[in-house]
Structure 1
Amino acid sequence: MSFNALVLAGSRGGRDPVADYAGVTDKALIVVGGRTMLARVTDALRGAGAERIVVVVSSTAVRDHARALGLETIDGAAGPSESAGRGFALLGAPLLVTTADHALLEPDWIMQFIANVPPGADVAALLARRDTVERAMPETKRTYLRFSDGAWSGCNLFYLATPQAAAAVKLWQRVERDRKRPWRIVRRLGPGLLLRYVIGRLPLSTALSHLGKTAGISASMVASPYGLAAVDVDKPSDLDLVRGLI
């Protein structure tokens, strides 16, 4: 398969508690298993067949490291979704978007995700059910969205399959503000689907499809069989768990 990839390795500003905990300037530069997290993500992307990899950066140290790895860089924006928009404008579709703190990322996860994106989808996200995540790593604490077909966690893998996916990036920019407040996200569903959500009768796939329609695109999800795909390094305890695995 042929695709380009965008790695979000910027910062929202201020000191990063995980980077401080690891004794480095930027989270992307944390060493796990003898490789920086950015290098590990790059290895996985190349192993999956990525042709062109661009890293979104907000520091000189990460830019220099990315270039030492043979990667292109662009300057980050105010948030991940805006940075993704810049990357999509540069690289076009199809584009795989992930993050530099996805230290456990494996080529097989990427290839299976892309292969399972439904035909006709403009954009797709990889998600993992809570039971799948907790079987793989019971100790991890993640943010879940609860639907009739289970509680789901994002896996920091997005596939922008067509040029129309630009509308999904704009929707992402609106949703990003509410990523840790699931109720604000589901309120975008409207009263009918919101009622189904409240009474536990709304599947995640239906919710995503509706959100896509509000943006004028076809949005879908792929369920990951790999619970570890939902584990990124958001806090020091995540870093300890990931280092323990590797």
Structure 2
Amino acid sequence: MLGGGDPGDPFAAAHGVPVKALIPVRGEPMALHVLRALRASGRVARIAYVGPTTAEMDPLIDERVTDHGTLLSNLEAGVEALAGAGLAPGERVLVATADIPLVTPGQLGEVLDAAPQAAALVYPVVRRSDCEQAFPGVKRTYARLRDDTFTGGNIFLLDPRLIGQFLPRLREVLAARKAPLKLAALIGPGILLKLLTRRLTVAELEGRVSTILGVPARALVTGHAAIGTDVDKDGDLLLAEAHLRADAPAQS
């Protein structure tokens, strides 16, 4: 689970904590809600947590990992911690960010049940209509494809044996995201044109991502809006507070 962050994050600082994952939601660290959901799902054998923690979070964590400063470095460190503790043959790693406090144990279980077994990387996406139905007024970043309009999820599933194979390419893509010509060369002009003209399909995007990363990658369309609803600003925090109050005391 990824709970690190920029120590200078103004959102975290405004709430008196060092990183966003520790911002209180209903009086408890945001990350604690996600940790509870992971544990209660009954589908997670061990949890490696990357980033600073609190005393109330620690009992739910098996492997505490120091924040390495970047998303991919934290991902790699977390997977290495789990591998060092022992992963069973064929066991996959579920990666979750600490800023999705609305996710429930049942939703996590359904995503894991639906995830294709043959993919090295499974990335859930959520339709805009599902987001807006679950959380009216929610503000997200969406991509319009031919199939529908989607936002990305904040969990994904990976094969830890192949992480060394696709991480270097993923770093290359992220490094190029602010250099349009380099990014266009990586993505491919045909795919980029289709994306810009909203003619790109989910299947075509999966194929291109698989080619870029060198491993089978699949998108998983899920109707669970909480998986695509992270808390990045005060408006998101108010939304999370309101929905957690409405769902209390039990979630499913």
TM-score (norm 1): 0.84
Give distance in 2, aligned partners of 1:182 and 1:221. 24
Aligned counterpart in structure 2 of residue 12 of structure 1, from 6, 16, 23 = 6
- Who is 2:152 aligned against? 154
**Amino acid across the alignment from 2:80:** A
Q: Is the 8 A contact 1:98 1:156 kept in 2?
A: yes
- Who is 2:15 aligned against? 22
Aligned counterpart in structure 2 of residue 224 of structure 1, from 219, 222, 242 = 222
| C-alpha deviation, 1:125, in angstroms | 0.7
Distance 1:52 1:64, change over 3 A: same
User: What are structure 2's unaligned runs of at least 5 residues?
Assistant: 84-90, 245-252
Distance 1:153 1:171, change over 3 A: farther
User: What are structure 1's unaligned runs of at least 5 residues?
Assistant: 1-6
| C-alpha deviation, 1:90, in angstroms | 2.7
Query: If each structure's strand is expressed as a fraction of its own residues, which one has the higher value?
Result: 1
Give distance in 2, aligned partners of 1:187 and 1:38. 37
Aligned counterpart in structure 2 of residue 210 of structure 1, from 208, 221, 228 = 208
SS of 2:230's equivalent?
Answer: coil
What is the alpha-carbon root mean square deviation over aligned residues? 2.6
- Who is 1:56 aligned against? 50
Q: Is the 8 A contact 2:102 2:240 kept in 1?
A: yes
State yes or no: 1:31 paired with 2:24: yes
Q: How does 1:32-111 map to 2 (within 5 A)?
A: 32-48=25-41, 49-57=43-51, 59=52, 62=53, 66-92=57-83, 93-111=91-109
Q: Is the 8 A contact 1:31 1:37 kept in 2?
A: yes
Q: Is the 8 A contact 2:93 2:158 kept in 1?
A: yes
Percent of residue pairs bearing the same amino acid type: 30
**Amino acid across the alignment from 1:135:** Q
- Who is 2:250 aligned against? none
- Who is 2:249 aligned against? none
- Who is 1:120 aligned against? 118
- Count residues with an aligned counterpart: 236
Distance 1:70 1:113, change over 3 A: closer
Distance 1:137 1:180, change over 3 A: farther
- Who is 1:4 aligned against? none
